[in-house]
């Protein structure tokens, strides 16, 4: 397989736009605000793992099967404990997760890297607003450290839920932010679902998406699709004028 642009996936537990937008507006999350402006973003709707004749994709399993050199850094695995963590311990865990990820990015060749930040003791646990903001501000700073290590051709995904396993907002929906040279800047992604992540990333990896895999490729956020659209529109107009006899 030829060399291809790397993909960094960041899972941010509990990060939903209904929670984040006020903090972005207040200037508390400047790095996330930059990513939102520079890339494509939208609500990531939960499918609640509904029954289907098509396979429900597990994002990491699909990616790991496609790229044997894929690496995952999980805050939950780093914590490796059954006891509840204090806010101070959660802050330390965020920093340890980043430290391990940075070390891997700087010392090992990689094409796909997934980093999962644990920001509470369970997917459905809640923190006080002040504690959540303190932890989220730290994650925001950690993301800046990670993106500084990315090559210009890399694609970055920041999402609050996938594989029907991470925390979501009360209505079951999460966050999707995607940045990179292949992604349209300032584009709003409408109708994205958690099951669309696996097909989209497989497409970027130039891996055929199985026909029986649920979800779709979010191709509307790709730059090459946007560039092709005007030409397609022009071809339609020309064909229409030709059919009316205005041009030969």
Most confident among 53-67, 169-183, 224-238 (mean pLDDT): 169-183
Model's pTM, two decimal places? 0.82
pLDDT at residue 228 in the model: 45
Gap between the Cα atoms of 174 and 127, Å rounded: 17
90: closest CA among 119, 115, 116? 119
Domains located in the chain, CATH noted: 7-218 (3.40.720.10)
Per-residue pLDDT of 50-106, as tens digits, reads 544 444 556 777 777 777 678 889 888 888 776 788 999 999 999 999 999 999 999
pLDDT digits (tens, 9 = 90+) for 10-66: 999 988 888 899 999 999 999 999 999 999 999 999 886 554 444 455 677 777 777
Instruction: Please count the residues of the chain.
Output: 248
Confidence of residue 197 (pLDDT cuts 50, 70, 90): very high
């Amino acid at each position: 397989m030829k060399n291809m642009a790397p993909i960094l996936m960041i899972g941010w537990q509990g990060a939903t736009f209904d929670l984040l937008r006020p903090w972005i507006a207040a200037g508390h999350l400047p790095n996330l605000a930059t990513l939102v402006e520079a890339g494509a973003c939208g609500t990531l709707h939960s499918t609640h793992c509904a029954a289907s004749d098509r396979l429900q994709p597990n994002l990491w399993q699909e990616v790991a099967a496609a790229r044997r050199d894929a690496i995952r850094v999980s805050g939950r695995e780093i914590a490796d404990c059954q006891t509840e963590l204090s806010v101070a311990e959660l802050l330390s865990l965020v920093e340890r997760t980043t430290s391990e990820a940075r070390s891997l990015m700087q010392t090992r060749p990689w094409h796909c890297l997934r980093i999962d930040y644990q920001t509470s003791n369970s997917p459905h646990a809640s923190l006080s607003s002040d504690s959540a903001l303190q932890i989220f501000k730290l994650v925001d700073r950690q993301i800046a450290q990670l993106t500084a290590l990315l090559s210009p051709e890399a694609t970055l995904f920041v999402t609050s839920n996938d594989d029907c396993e991470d925390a979501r907002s009360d209505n079951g929906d999460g966050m999707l932010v995607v940045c990179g040279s292949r992604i349209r800047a300032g584009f709003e992604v409408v109708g994205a679902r958690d099951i669309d992540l696996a097909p989209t990333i497989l497409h970027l990896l130039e891996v055929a998406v199985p026909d029986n895999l649920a979800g779709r490729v979010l191709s509307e956020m790709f730059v090459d699709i946007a560039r092709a659209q005007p030409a397609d529109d022009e071809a339609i107009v020309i064909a229409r004028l030709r059919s009316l006899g205005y041009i030969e």
